[in-house]
A and B are shown apart, each in its own frame.
Chain A
Amino acid sequence: EPEVTQTPSHQVTQMGQEVILRCVPISNHLYFYWYRQILGQKVEFLVSFYNNEISEKSEIFDDQFSVERPDGSNFTLKIRSTKLEDSAMYFCASSRGLAGGYTGELFFGEGSRLTVL
């Protein structure tokens, strides 16, 4: 069964360093997302991406964050200068899109745990 894959599974970094989290969405999906989850809390929306551009972003997704689809398969999240409060699980998700403009069901990867020291 097709799945969303994420790398790395865990990354430890120093405050102020740049981090890139990578995702390979399901191959025939059109919509891509990043969510994050601080330990013990709910899953929070960061950004959605469609047709090679950001569709929507949350207040969390400030200038320190960026997303890119550098080729036909990868979808990346970059944090330019990490802060302690960026420590969280980051989940990539994709959906295939449905008739009528619905994005359809989201399928999630296993997540990348980011620890900022």
Chain B
Amino acid sequence: NAGVTQTPKFQVLKTGQSMTLQCAQDMNHEYMSWYRQDPGMGLRLIHYSVGAGITDQGEVPNGYNVSRSTTEDFPLRLLSAAPSQTSVYFCASSRRGTGRQKEQYFGPGTRLTVT
């Protein structure tokens, strides 16, 4: 299994541009999430999904959209990039369940710079 994959690994955008960060998992996990990690900071939840067709907001959803048309894919769209969105973005997936079943499997991350 490839686990959780993310593309691209690096991206530079100009203010106002839009783009989509891709995330896919091949573990048949029901839950998927997007986090951002600013330099020296923790992980903040942007959006998450508990299944195909179901998404919800996390702590910092403004400026981002998500969709979940399939179990495998969970893309994150930046509507109009701003310098404040410069960060490392991690996608994660987990099974439905309790306890250890909630272990988050993270992708390798996308390093985004907005100038």
B and A form one assembly: no
Binding site for B on A (CB under 8 A): none
